[in-house]
Amino acid sequence: MTYIAKPQFHHPELPRNALGFTRRDYEGRVSTLCAGCGHDSISAAIVQAAFELDLEPHRLAKLSGIGCSSKTPDYFLGASHGFNTVHGRMPSVLTGANLANRDLIYLGVSGDGDSASIGLGQFAHAIRRGVNMAYIVENNGVYGLTKGQFSATADAGSKSKRGIVNHDNPIDMVSLALQLGASYVGRGFSGDKSQLTPLIKGAILHKGAAFIDVISPCVAFNNHPGSTKSFDYVREHNEAVNRLDVILGRTPIHADYEPGTVAEVTQHDGSVLKLRKLAADYDASDRNRAMAYLQERQSAGEIVTGLLYVDPDSSDLHDHLHTAATPLNRLGDAELTPGSGALDAINASLR
């Protein structure tokens, strides 16, 4: 970590968003991660996404577990709410927060160790319940914070920095999320922010469980030849199926696209996801075909990136539970204690 505070001065021409904020206003403290860590690039993409979405910082809560990745919420959105929870337990804390106050935007930030090892169960249940959140896994194939042990997402056959080969089968978080019913699933690469930033924007706007797996090289323990999560390896094997543009309801649409190359998805809030197809046969609206495609390309050694699946008519946990539109934390005594008459009526209905 640097010993100086990041200078306040910014570029004089730095654009301001609808709220009058510059991108710099969405930053957090200076990162304490290793220089060059992929996670820092993801933080930068989150900052950019929040800026572009004209997000009011107080409307967002960032939650994380334990790990280098889980430390990053300190380095972005310094004016937002934050909860650095326990190893692997971020999904349940996030679920609880979401139940108590459905009005906030929830950003879960986790690592492959945090979500695929110790927190795999928590991850699975938050996704299958359709908690309204953007869940980002910063996936480097190792436990960075504890000095680089293989994590559950490390590919079989990949080599550690000291030359040890991993024989266990990897957990593919994207396939898992698809299978568990996530209604927005993407994969990005920390080294390609132009692809990643719109993926994050779309996820933040999405209603329901949005999941993004971001390959994020650990420069300290997993960026060597033989690693399948290194900058070089990912650049060589990256197969982007599409490029996403997120268009906010009020923004006029300028871009011209070749006919037939763009799929448009309008989300519940009116935002439009424009998907420029790169792989002609890829259809992001079909969950089953997406899963098959992923398996197929994966076995060919490719890392499929892009917006892999989106359900524009998604629903979330609150829909399923029929909770009140007013956040629970804002209900007063009158609403919360309807009186013995109401209790009697309930009891009677159960007899």
Partner 1 sequence: MEPTNTEAPEYFHRVVDCQWACPAHTPVPEYIRMIAEGRHADAYMVNWKSNVFPGVLGRTCDRPCEPACRRGRVEAEPVAICRLKRVAADNKGDVSARMPGPAAQKNGYRVACVGAGPASLTVARDLAPLGYEVVVYDGDHRAGGMIRSQIPRFRLPESVIDEEVGWITALGPEMRLGQQVDSLKALLDMDYDAIFVGTGAPRGRDLNVPGREEARANIHIGIDWLSSVSFGHIEKIGRRVIVLGGGNTAMDCCRTSRRLGGADVKVIVRSGFDEMKASPWEKEDAMHEGIPILNFLAPKAFTHENGRLTGVVFEAMGWQTDAGGRRKLLPTGEPDQHFECDDVLVAIGQENAFPWIERDIGLDFDEWGMPVVDPVTFQSTNPKVFFGGDAAFGPKNIIWAVAHGHEAAVSIDRWRRGQDVRLRPPPGVTLVSQKMGIHEWSYENDISNDERRKVPLLETKKALADVKAEVELGFDRPLSLAEAHRCLNCDVQTVFAAPLCIECDACMDVCPTDCITFTANGAEEDLRSRLKAPAENLEQPLYVSGALKTGRVMVKDEDVCLHCGLCAERCPTGAWDMQKFLLEMTHAGGGAQCQAR
Ligand X SMILES: Cc1ncc(C[n+]2csc(CCOP(=O)(O)OP(=O)(O)O)c2C)c(N)n1
Chain contacts with ligand X (rule: CB under 6 A): 66-69, 87, 111-114, 118, 138, 140, 142-146, 151
**Near partner 1 in 47-76, by CB under 8 A:** none
Interacting partner of 281 out of ligand SF4, partner 1, Mg ion, none (Cβ under 5 to 8 A depending on kind): none
Strand partners, 273: 246, 265
Q: What is the DSSP string of 157-179?
A: T-B-TTSPBP-SPPP-HHHHHHH
Distances 314 to 26, 210, 290 between C-alpha atoms, Å: 29, 10, 17
Residue closer to ligand X, measured from CB, 144 or 208: 144
With CB under 5 to 8 Å by kind, the binding choice for 113 among ligand SF4, ligand X, partner 1, none is ligand X
d(CA 114, CA 143): 9
229 makes contact with ligand SF4 (CB under 6 A): no
CB-nearer residue toward partner 1: 31 or 139: 31
Binding mask 186-225 for partner 1 (x = CB under 8 A): ----xx-x-----------------------x-x---x--
The smaller minimum CB distance to ligand SF4, of residues 92 and 140, is found at 140
The residue behind tokens 């009186």 is 339
Considering only residues 2 to 41 of the shown chain, the ones binding ligand SF4 according to CB under 6 A are 33-34, 37, 39
Q: Of these, 60, 219, 273, 290, which contacts ligand SF4 (CB under 6 A)?
A: 219
Residues in 143-162 at the binding interface with ligand SF4, rule: CB under 6 A? 144-145
CA dihedral 138, 140, 143, 144 (to 10 degrees): -90
Contact 106, 133 (CB under 8 A): yes
CA distance 251 to 255: 12
> Which residue, 72 or 238, has its beta carbon nearer to Mg ion?
72
Contact between 220 and ligand SF4 per CB under 6 A: yes
Does 137 help bind ligand SF4 (rule: CB under 6 A)? no
Residue 51's alpha-carbon distances to 16, 26, 249, 278, in angstroms, are: 8, 7, 16, 27
Q: Quick one: which of 26, 41, 88, 213 contacts partner 1 (CB under 8 A)?
A: 41
Query: What type of residue is 224?
Result: H
Supply 287's token pair.
Answer: 């969950």
Q: Which of 28, 44, 115, 294 binds partner 1 (CB under 8 A)?
A: 44
Q: How far from 39 is each of 140, 184, 199, CA to CA, in Å?
A: 9, 21, 16
Decide if 309 contacts 185 (C-beta within 8 A): yes
Q: Does 136 bind ligand SF4 (CB under 6 A)?
A: no
Residue in 161, 132, 148, 176 with CA at minimum distance from that of residue 287: 176
List residues binding ligand SF4 (CB under 6 A). Answer: 33-34, 37, 39, 68, 140, 144-145, 218-221
List residues binding partner 1 (CB under 8 A). Answer: 1-14, 24, 30-31, 34-38, 40-41, 43-44, 190-191, 193, 217, 219, 223, 231-232, 235
